């Protein structure tokens, strides 16, 4: 995600964002998953989120105070979605998931994902902050359709 933010920073100029904040949010927003593992959003429960938050606090507490004092407000901002930077970071998070999914061999997709292949795209709309992100959604959606169209669905 941080690489995506860095590489696409020119696409967000019109939003007048602090790209360093976005990159930092991208680097650390899933820190709790270092301990818990990456649980797919559709499988993640409130209990999983609670455990991940607790692990994040433990990890942050292991950092030097000066670093912790920089990261804690940024991660809270990301969770609250209170700034344009947090919204851009969240958009990148959502798009990165779709990109990974599209790049993965279709044999790794579940039948549900193949049949309901547009479901991943419905939640993106609130993150389409500029024309670039709207175009990116359309391109990724097109790539996904091509992949699914060429895969026979087994019964």
Question: With bands split at pLDDT 50, 70 and 90, how would you rate the model's confidence at 108?
Answer: confident
How high is the pLDDT of residue 125? 86
Please give the average per-residue pLDDT across 66-94, as a whole number.
Answer: 95
Higher pLDDT residue, 100 or 70? 70
In the predicted structure, residue 15 carries a pLDDT above the cut 90: yes
User: What DSSP state is assigned to residue 104?
Assistant: S
Backbone phi, psi, residue 17, to 5°: -100, 160
Q: Are 83 and 77 in contact (CB under 8 A)?
A: yes
Of residues 32, 31, 18, 22, the one with CA closest to residue 1: 22
Q: Are 21 and 85 in contact (CB under 8 A)?
A: yes
Domains in the chain, ordered, with CATH? 2-149 (1.10.3210.10)
Question: With bands split at pLDDT 50, 70 and 90, how would you rate the model's confidence at 58?
Answer: very high
Q: Cα separation of 135 and 46, whole Å?
A: 33
Model confidence pLDDT, tens digit, residues 90-103: 999 989 988 988 89
How high is the pLDDT of residue 153? 53
């Amino acid at each position: 995600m941080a690489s995506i933010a860095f590489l696409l920073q020119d696409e967000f100029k019109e939003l007048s964002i602090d790209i360093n904040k976005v990159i930092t949010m991208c680097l650390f927003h899933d820190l709790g998953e270092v301990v818990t593992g990456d649980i797919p959003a559709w499988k993640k429960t409130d209990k999983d989120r609670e455990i991940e938050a607790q692990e994040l606090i433990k990890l942050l507490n292991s950092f030097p105070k000066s670093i912790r004092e920089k990261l804690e407000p940024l991660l809270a901002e990301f969770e609250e979605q209170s700034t344009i930077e947090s919204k851009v970071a969240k958009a990148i998070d959502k798009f990165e998931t779709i990109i990974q999914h599209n790049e993965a061999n279709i044999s790794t997709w579940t039948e549900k994902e193949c049949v309901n292949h547009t479901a991943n795209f419905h939640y993106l709309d609130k993150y389409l902050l500029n024309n670039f992100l709207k175009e990116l959604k359309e391109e990724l959606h097109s790539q996904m359709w091509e992949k699914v169209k060429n895969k026979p669905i087994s019964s």
